[in-house]
Structure formats: structure tokens, C-alpha cells
Amino acid sequence: MKKLLQNPAHFFACIVFLIGTVFLACLTYHHLDKGFIFNDEAYYLSYYKNKGESLSFDRTNFFRIFRFLYTPNIYHFRIISITTLVLSNFLLCCTIFKYLKFDNSLFFYSLIGIFIGFESWNISNLIIQQYIGNTILVNVGISLMLISLIIKKKFILTLSGFVLSFILFNGNSHVVVIIPILIFFIVSDSENRKSNLLYLFSGYIIGVIVYFTFLDTLDNFVFQFKFLKEYLSFHRKQHSRTFIVLWCVYLFLNAILPTAIAYFFLWEAKFSENSIKTLNKLIALLGILTILLLCLKYEFYLFSLILFTHILALRFWIEKNETLKNKYVIILLLIIPYCLAFGSQTWFHLRLNAYKLYYFLLIFICLMRLYKNNLWVAGYLIKISIMIFVFPDVLKDKGWKDFVFTEQTEKVKVNGYPLYLDKQRKKDLDILHPYLQNQPDVIYSSNHLMGYLYILDASPPIYYYFELKDYIRFIIKKTGKTPDDFIYFESIDYPFNPKEIVPLQFVDHPENYKIVKTGRFTLYLPSKYKK
């Protein structure tokens, strides 16, 4: 305690992290039995529920890897998921701080991992999917690797390789994260490179064997890739081929180019004391700008955060008093979010929120190691305090989740367990129950309707995010059926796109269909429909 009081910035960091962790944990766990995301959450849960037996166009098998944690009680599964995530964050922070020789306040500093874990996901979409799943796998895999390097016990590397091996199956496009982790591992202990790699790869091979022995079959894995190849021809109509190019261009302009320019000027100045002081002033201005944008213009905040983090990492890299091993840790933390966001089909700065732990950890380490002035850490704590203060706003924010927590007052049974929804959706379920309960072969007009199918145990030929007529025809044919075998389900809010599917024009025999308008919905029921 005396050491903490001698450095008030460090003491207040412990206090703020502790308060933030306890406050966000209480708020999060208290509301996990409320609301349901009728598109994404229903989509992810459907694979756990049907054990992955339906077709999927996603290159991920998260539902096989994490099925041992699954329970049909959504409330309990959310608790299990977020707890596993934040504990993996905490483990990563602990091991990194230990590796960097942060001997004081190790536990309290590591609470930043739990705090950011709760704050990043905002009490929504918490069931383990590929994004949360890969974060857990990366955190645990790197932590085991660092523990091995710290205590010099090579057998732990086998466990690390075992955990990291599942990234190959959890999200195929995210597997690129293995590359920087492997490079970091090699350069961090180059003297024992060969023996270390032997232990690591033995664990990796064991993980692959376990996966194909107990979780999946090789035939099914190959089939998924064959199906993916067929699907890509439709996928490109929804997502341009140039998307990944633009994604890389954005990152280059927002992060890599400014950092390269800053490094060039430092090099031209021969890394003089004055040039480094100038860089420190630039970092301070970027930090202030980031805090102001967080409060005033949130849509630009993440741009500033990315730039600030990269310039700060550059400052750490040129620090003469830091070892190369420490600098490798900073570079790894900087690169991980790129890899985990790769192939996610959305802009990096939008996906970053799920992976900002690595940035916040990087920033905290750099500020604590580079600057003795308490004002730097104070600025960081101001930002954390703002995040704590505004977090309760999520309870009244509709956002992309399409529900408000304070309106979730009606108890319904999902998989036989209670969950609280709003009055309108409870009414919708009562209306739809006679028509969709336990019905197979349902084609819906929007992914916003997935939740109704999930709760009512209805099933589509495939869960889809977009409405492409030729894609739906392809799937129907693949399942050995015809368009006339399906119920067509649309809502007033999310009707079928007339440029894509008009149900009675899509089917071969519209005269055999009965149109039922009920509540906010329209159902097209085939003659073979049975209640």
C-alpha cells in the first residue's frame, strides 16, 4: 500500500479498474435474462441447437468447439460465455504484465481485461460465436506461451499449441492470427527455437487429432469447403471483390502510413532528443483529441484511437531503455486485432470494438513504461472513467440490437427456460405460434425474423443474412425440394425485397398457396401445410 501511495497515478489506476470491473459486472449479469437479438444471436444459437446439422455458409465451427459450454438456457449460456471471455482477458493481462515485470499491483492492473471485456460487448450478443471464441482461444494460447517463457517449462507449450490449433476451425479467415503469434514466439526465445517449436507443434497436432476424433469428421470438414466454393459465386453479389482491397487501403491510410511518416522524420532527425520530445507532444495531442471525440463525436473516435495507438507503439519501439522482448509484445498486441478482424466483411474500425482490449492494454503498458509524469496515466484514467459513466446508457439504447433493455418485461419460454422480452415480441410469438411452431421449411424475408423461428422451433433450409433469389433457389435444390415445399414468412417492417423474391411469383404453383395476414406478419402457406 505504501508503494501505491507513493505513486498516486498507479494507485488511482487500481481503484478505477476495480470500480469499473465491479460496476460493469453487476450491471451486465443483472440484465442477461432480458432481451434477445433476433438476427445474430438467433443465428449463432441455431447451430448449437441443431448441432450444426443444417447447412452453413460461414467458415466457422464455433458451435462444435465450444459445445461443452453450451446450455439451452440462454440466460445461463450468456453468463458462461461472458465469464469465460473476461477471465481469458484477465489471464492474458496477468501473464503479459508478469512477462514485462510489472511486479506491483499485478492483480489490480489485470482487472482492465475484465472491465474492457464487459464494456466491449455492451451486454449484447454474448453467446460464444466465432468472434468471442477466437478471442478466448488467442488469449489462453498466448497466456500459456508466456507462462512457459516465464517459468521455463516447455511442456506448457504443448498446451498452448493445443489451444491455438482450434483457431483453424473456429474461424478460417481468422487463422492468420497464428502467423504473428508464431513469429513473436520464435523471436522471443530464439536460442531455444527448435525445441520450443517441437513442443508447440506437437500440441497443435494433438489439437487437430482431437478435433477430428471427437468434434467433427474430415469428410464433413471437406464438404464445408466444397459448399463454400459453391456459395462464393453468390456471396460476391452481396460483397464486392474489392472489399478486402479497400479494407487494406483504409488501414494503410489510417494507421500504417502515418506511423511510417512519423518514423521517417525521426530517422531523418537521427532520433534526436528534440525529435522524440516533438513526438511526445504529438502523442499527447492525439490522446486529448481521442478523449474529446469519445465525448463529442463518437463516429470519429475509433479513427483517432487507432492512430493514437500506432504512434504510441512507435514511441515504445524507439525507446532505448526497453528490451527487444518487450517491444515484441507491443507489436503483437498491435497486430492481433487486424488478424481477428480479417475476413469479417465489415470495416476494421467497426469490428475493432470487439478487440479493443489489445489496444487498451498496449496503451496502458506504454504509458506506464515510457512516462514518469502522472498526467499521462491520468488522461488514460479519464477515458476509462468516461466509459464507466456512460455504460448504463446501453440499457436505453435500441441500437443494432433492435430492443431496449428497460422494455424487456414479458416472460416467455425459450427451449423451456424463461427469458424476458418486450410486449410486442411476446404478442408476435403468440400470434405466430399456431402457424410456425415446429414447422420445417420456412423461408423468411429478413434476418431480423430469425429469432421467431428459433424460439418457435421452426427451421429454414439455411440461415441467411441476405435475400438473393438465385441463392435461395440453389439451396432449395440442394436440399432436394422445390420452392412449393416452403412456407414464406415476412413482416411489415421487413418485407421481401421485390427485386429478389416475391413469394407467389417465386413458387411454381401460386394457386396452391393461402395468404394469411396476422398482426405485423404475412404468411404464405402451401396446400401441404399442416398445423
Task: Indicate whether 3 pLDDT > 60.
Answer: no
- The pLDDT score that the predictor gives to residue 119 is 96
What pLDDT is attached to residue 2? 56
SS3 271: coil
Determine the Cα–Cα distance for residues 373 and 491; give it in Å rounded to an integer: 58
Residue 4: is its pLDDT beyond 70? no
Rounded to the nearest 10 degrees, what angle do helices 130-151 and 155-165 cross at? Answer: 170
Give the Cβ contact number of residue 256 at 10 Å. 12
Confidence check: pLDDT of 245 > 70: yes
Please give the torsion angle defined by the CA atoms of residues 164, 201, 333 and 98, in that order, rounded to the nearest 10 degrees. 100
424 near 81, Cβ under 8 Å?
no
Q: Where exactly are the structural domains of the chain?
A: 422-526
Helix axes 178-188, 130-151, angle to 10 degrees: 10
CA-CA distance, 133 to 112, in Å (whole number)? 19
Q: Nearest Cα to 82, choosing from 113, 56, 103, 105?
A: 113
Q: Does this model's pTM top 0.85?
A: yes
What is the per-residue pLDDT across 124-164, written as a single tens digit (0 to 9) for each?
Answer: 999 999 999 999 999 999 999 999 999 999 999 999 999 99
pLDDT tens digits, 209-219 = 999 999 998 88
pLDDT band at 238 (very low <50, low <70, confident <90, very high): low
Determine the residue type at 455: I
For residue 359, give the nearest of 402, 320, 308 by alpha carbon: 308
pLDDT of residue 160: 98
The reported pLDDT for the residue numbered 373 is 80
Where is 219: in which H helix or E strand?
A: helix 218-238
Provide mean pLDDT across the span 231-241. Answer: 63
Provide the pLDDT confidence category of residue 105 given band limits of 50, 70 and 90. confident
- 35-60, pLDDT tens digit by residue? 999 999 999 999 998 876 666 666 68
pLDDT at 367 over 90: yes
* 410-456 tens-digit pLDDT: 999 999 999 999 999 999 999 999 999 999 999 999 999 999 999 99
Gap between the Cα atoms of 410 and 9, Å rounded: 46
How far apart CA 423 and CA 409 sit, in angstroms, is 7
- % of the chain at pLDDT higher than 90: 72
Contacts of 358 by beta carbon, 8 Å cutoff, 6+ apart: 333, 334, 336, 337
The pLDDT mean for the chain works out to 91
Whether 429 and 410 have beta carbons less than 8 Å apart is answered as no
300 three-state secondary structure: helix
Question: Ranked by mean pLDDT, which of 285-299, 356-370, 371-385 comes out on top?
Answer: 356-370
70 closest CA partner among 7, 128, 138, 124? 128
